Chain A
Amino acid sequence: MLKHKNTLMVVAFSAAIFSCPFFLNAYWIDVINNVGMYAILALSLNFIVGYTGLFHMGHAAFFAVGAYTAAILNTSYSIPILLLLPVSGAAAALFAYLVARPIIHLRGDYLLIVTIAIVEVVRIALVNNVFGLTGGSNGIFGISRPEIFGFSIRRPHEFFYYIWSFLAVSVFLFHMLEKSRFVRALNYIKNDETAAEGSGVDVAYYKLIAFVLGAFWAGMVGNIFASKMTLISPQSFNFWESVILFVIVILGGSGSIRGVILGAFLIVGLPELFRQFAGARMLIFGAAMVAMMVFRPQGFLPPLPRKYPTHKIKPGDETL
């Protein structure tokens, strides 16, 4: 029963989203595109913050590495940007591995401070044009558009399908992972690290993998972002971006895919509806955050308990 209800919800939501291009103008489609990109980024952060419970406020750093990898390789060697999608992901994942490896044993607030430092170091390195590759504070321009079978994606309506299809695939894969020992292991760590290790979970390894996988996806979104903007500069990857992603995960419901997507709509989409109150926006935003944390600390849509097909197990079945 519940399963059917959930399937129905997913179908209804997908239908609503994918009908957007038929009645929204370019401006609003661009807003929806931004929501989609933030949603994928927040879903990638969800591995670290949501499932594993690690305080990580430097996710924009991984996003930046992916975007700059795509931009540099595309503009210097004219490699098609779409082919660079996995390369951006891999570069961000490698970077995450290198920076997370020495700090992975840090707990709570200590880890938080280090991750904030990472995103600042990356931004400052980009501004200072390290290795003469990043174009300093002006950034890199002239990044080419993605091309599929000779068809170039450039208008907001075209990017809409690109971004939201990518989101749909990501959600599908992440949903599968949620039902596996991988996300379970992350949840054990979130609940009690000592008990997780004592039950046979390699805590340090899984924390690191959460970082690497989250960064891989953030890097790929960086690639999409670079090809959408055609121009990237360090301002797009500041600490504030990391905070927004963090807030999306916590406010939406940490560890919950539908919660994170809702969070992206609330944090990125909703303010656009109230543009005329631009001055009061941050005030309302702050007040809403305080109210949420007091009255609903688990977020709007916390994760549902996982269901297991226990009825399919017969007493005589072979077991582990």
Chain B
Amino acid sequence: MTLLGIRNLTKKFGGLMAVNDVSFDVEQGKIVGLIGPNGAGKTTVFNLITGNYIPDHGEIIFNGRDLAGLKTHKIVSLGIARTFQTIRLFKNLSVLENVLAGCHCRMRSGIFSSMFRLPSQRREEKLALGRALKELEFVGLKEHMNLKSMNLSYGNQRLLEIARALASSPSLIVLDEPAGGMNDYETQRLVGLIEKMQARGLTVLLIEHDMNLVMRICEHIVVLEHGALIAQGSAREITADSRVIEAYLGIDDEED
């Protein structure tokens, strides 16, 4: 079943065609990789999916609903959570409060019930706290929960972003270079974590430059170059595709 369908997605920045008529599907429960050289438009596709940009043309169908034009927080509440390429945590808040941010959109208490600490509000806070602790445990950061998030190591900050995204109960999680800046050991842990997310029933869409990681865990790979889709398929199909090899390694003029 298709969870996310991208149809003829197009986005221009001035004269630059950042994303040009891109279409692909993300199947429910799969791990899908979006790859391509720098400037290929991968992050722009992510920003279009999560509502940071509005597409000039095309559709983003999620669970049968077109997301184009919806605001980001609305898209999160519909079930798409993301992490950022450049880590964006709430630096001055604790690790725990960072994860509670993800719970926000699943909570309902308003100002009045909070001011008077009505039983419904207290119950909801407790449920959210439980969820946040669960996600911290899931990514292995529970013992750091009272630290300020800015004091975490780089790799752990990436994991915290994932925990925050998971706390919003998404059905699709969108990871923008999750292994960026991680060492081999951390990347290894990340691979295990992504597989655990899949086992939880989540669908994962990720951008990654670490080809090792992509080839290992992605069941479907989409390749972009200069904003256009040049190939998609399994890891084996992608590595054999001449256009992909060309895009990554360049062509040798003498052999032309």
Which positions in A face B, CB cutoff 8 Å?
Answer: 173, 176-177, 179-182, 184-185, 187-188, 191-192, 194-203, 209, 213, 305-306, 308-310, 312-313, 317-320
Q: With a CB–CB cut-off of 8 A, which chain B residues contact A180?
A: 109, 114, 121, 125
Indicate the member of A181, A198, A317, A319 with the most B CB atoms within 10 Å. A198
Taken together as a complex, chains A and B put the C-alpha atoms of A184 and B50 apart, in Å, by: 22
Determine whether the beta carbon of B111 is less than 8 Å from that of A209: yes
User: Which residues of chain B are near A176, meaning CB under 8 Å?
Assistant: 114-117
Cβ of B215 under 8 Å from chain A: no
Q: How far is the CB of B76 from chain A (nearest CB, A)?
A: 4
C-alpha gap A61/B198 in the complex (Å):
54
* Chain B positions 86-119 with a Cβ under 8 Å from a chain A Cβ: 88-94, 96-97, 100-107, 109-111, 114-117
Pairs A-B, 3 closest by C-beta atoms: A200-B105, A180-B114, A200-B76
Q: Given known contacts A173-B115, A188-B90, A192-B89, is B84 in contact with A198 (CB within 8 Å)? A: yes
Are A181 and B104 within 8 A (Cβ)?
yes
Q: A177-B114, A198-B82, A199-B101 are in contact. Are A191 and B71 (CB under 8 A)?
A: no
Query: Which single residue of chain A is at the shortest CB-CB distance from B133?
Result: A313
**Across-interface contacts of B84 in A (CB, < 8 A):** 194-195, 198
State how many angstroms separate the Cβ of B123 from the closest Cβ of chain A: 10
A194 to B50, CA, bound (A): 11
Q: A184-B100, A320-B127 are in contact. Are A194 and B94 (CB under 8 A)?
A: no
Q: How far is the CA of A310 from the CA of B130 in the complex (A)?
A: 8
10 sample A-B contacts, Cβ–Cβ < 8 Å, listed by A number = A180-B121, A181-B114, A184-B97, A187-B97, A191-B90, A192-B88, A192-B89, A202-B74, A308-B129, A319-B130
How far apart sit A19 and B42, CA to CA, in the bound complex (Å)? 66
Query: Do B96 and A310 have beta carbons less than 8 Å apart?
Result: yes
Q: With an 8 A cutoff between CB atoms, is B131 at the interface?
A: yes
B77 interfacial by beta-carbon distance below 8 Å = yes
Assess whether A200 is in contact with B114, with CB atoms less than 8 Å apart.
no
**Considering only CB atoms, which chain A residue lies closest to B164 in the complex?**
A199
Question: Contact size class for B?
Answer: 35 or more
Given contacts A200-B101, A305-B146, A320-B107, 11 further A-B contacts (CB under 8 A): A177-B111, A184-B101, A191-B90, A192-B90, A198-B72, A199-B168, A310-B145, A313-B129, A317-B130, A319-B130, A320-B128
CA distance A198 to B92 in the complex (A): 18
A188 neighbours in B (Cβ, 8 Å): 90, 93, 101, 104
Instruction: Compute how far the CA of A201 lies from the CA of B90 in the bound complex, rounded to whole angstroms.
Output: 13
Residues on A with beta carbons closer than 8 Å to the beta carbon of B52? 194, 198
Contacts of B110 in A (CB 8 A): 182
Q: Determine if A213 and B111 form an interchain contact, defined as CB atoms under 8 angstroms apart.
A: yes
Check: B12 CB closer than 8 A to any chain A CB: no
Give the residue name and chain of the B residue nearest to A212 (CB).
B111
Choose among A179, A184, A191, A312 the residue that contacts B92 (Cβ–Cβ < 8 A).
A191
Q: Does B126 contact A (CB under 8 A)?
A: yes
Q: Is the CB of A195 within 8 A of B114?
A: no
Q: Using Cβ atoms and an 8 Å threshold, which residues of chain B touch A209?
A: 111
CA distance A305 to B150 in the complex (A): 14
Q: Is the CB of B76 within 8 A of A199?
A: yes
Query: What residues on B are CB-neighbors of A185 within 8 Å?
Result: 104
* Residue in B74, B93, B169 with the greatest tally of chain A CB atoms within 10 Å: B93
- Residue B65 at the A interface, CB < 8 A? no
CB distance from A169 to the nearest CB of B (A): 10
- Is A182's CB under 8 angstroms from B111's CB? yes
Docked CA distance A169–B77 (Å): 35
A320 touches B131 (CB 8 A): yes
Determine whether B236 belongs to the interface, using a CB cutoff of 8 Å to chain A: no
Answer yes or no: B73 CB below 8 A from chain A CBs. Answer: yes
Q: Which residues of A contact B89 (CB under 8 A)?
A: 191-192, 195
Question: Taking CB as reference atom, which chain B residue is nearest A193?
Answer: B88
> How long is the Cα–Cα vector from A202 to B74 in the complex, in angstroms?
8
Contact of B101 among A194, A196, A317 (CB under 8 A): A196
Residue numbers in B under 8 Å from A184 (CB-CB): 97, 100-101, 104
- CB–CB B50/A198 < 8 A: yes
CA distance A316 to B55 in the complex (A): 44
Cβ A309 vs Cβ B91 within 8 A: no
Please state if A309 and B129 are interface contacts (CB–CB under 8 Å).
yes
